[in-house]
Amino acid sequence: MALGGGVVGDLAGFVAATYLRGIRFIQMPTTLLAHDSSIGGKVGINLARGKNLVGAFHPPMAVLYDVSALHSLPPREWQNGMAEVIKHTIIGNPSLFERLEANPLPLFPGADAVEQWLAEAIQVKINVVEQDEFEQETRMWLNLGHTVGHAVEQVSHYRLGHGEAVAIGMRVEAEIAAARGWLSVTDKRRIIAVLDQHGLPIRPPEFLFDEIVDALQVDKKHTNAGWTFVLPKSIGEVAIARDVVRQELADAWEVSLRERNV
């Protein structure tokens, strides 16, 4: 039984995947972030060179939720979890995105209020994983915000939370998508605004860009053609770009540093 947040779930899942070549386990997440990470069977541990570089696909036999446990989260941890919720709305639930725009939830609103929209966000991930359990194509959609986000986490020496880094990643990746003409300026601004409304950072820290590039070089999604990014095309639709080059990323990083765009 993995009772706790995402670190507990990842560690317990990795042990379950490897002990005796695999034993069954149950996830019982107690944080908003873990309500996302407990689904889908990805388990792993970090190395000094980057996140999730050792891991396995090992789905739990069950995931048990008690949303009343979320009342104990500090505001910053709640906001970290909202980054993943917002990510799911951009991938596949524009209706929930609109509701979060109209009624932002920067603080825990109570278990009754959370249950319905959290179930909707989780369902987006379930639908994607059911199509592509082992991440051959469509499951990559769930990496929205994570390519840049993992690099930002690493360069910050993990002083930034996972959700905060993913929010920065979504902002930078929205800038890349808009520059390519994949995403309208209106939808780009909506994405940035809803992140801001939920207390999440929308500007990268003043890191040296070369440090971000160095961190990205060990990303599992890096090839000679460039980086593989998931880019938003609209609210509710994303696409995979396998050829994002350094200059595109540098331009988007600079715009994100310079402009709030809200």
Selection from 32, 20, 91 nearest residue 235 by Cα: 91
Does 221 qualify as catalytic in the annotation? no
Instruction: Single out the catalytic residue among 51, 58, 93, 143.
Output: 143
Instruction: Single out the catalytic residue among 42, 51, 58, 188.
Output: 42
Does 198 qualify as catalytic in the annotation? no
Does 162 qualify as catalytic in the annotation? yes
Instruction: Single out the catalytic residue among 35, 51, 88, 125.
Output: 125
Instruction: Single out the catalytic residue among 150, 171, 188, 198.
Output: 150
Instruction: Single out the catalytic residue among 35, 88, 146, 188.
Output: 146
Does 242 qualify as catalytic in the annotation? no
3-state secondary structure of 57: strand
Instruction: Single out the catalytic residue among 35, 51, 84, 171.
Output: 84
3-state secondary structure of 241: strand
Instruction: Single out the catalytic residue among 58, 139, 171, 188.
Output: 139
Sign of CA dihedral 186, 150, 260, 198: positive
Selection from 86, 78, 83 nearest residue 121 by Cα: 86
Does 76 qualify as catalytic in the annotation? no
204 and 145 Cβ atoms separated by less than 8 Å: no
Cα 107 from Cα 134, distance rounded (Å): 34
Instruction: Single out the catalytic residue among 35, 58, 87, 162.
Output: 162
Instruction: Single out the catalytic residue among 135, 211, 237, 254.
Output: 135
Does 135 qualify as catalytic in the annotation? yes
- The C-alpha angle 176, 179, 181, rounded to 5 degrees, equals 110
Does 189 qualify as catalytic in the annotation? no
Does 261 qualify as catalytic in the annotation? no
For the annotated catalytic residues, the residue numbers are 21, 42, 84, 125, 135, 139, 143, 146, 150, 162
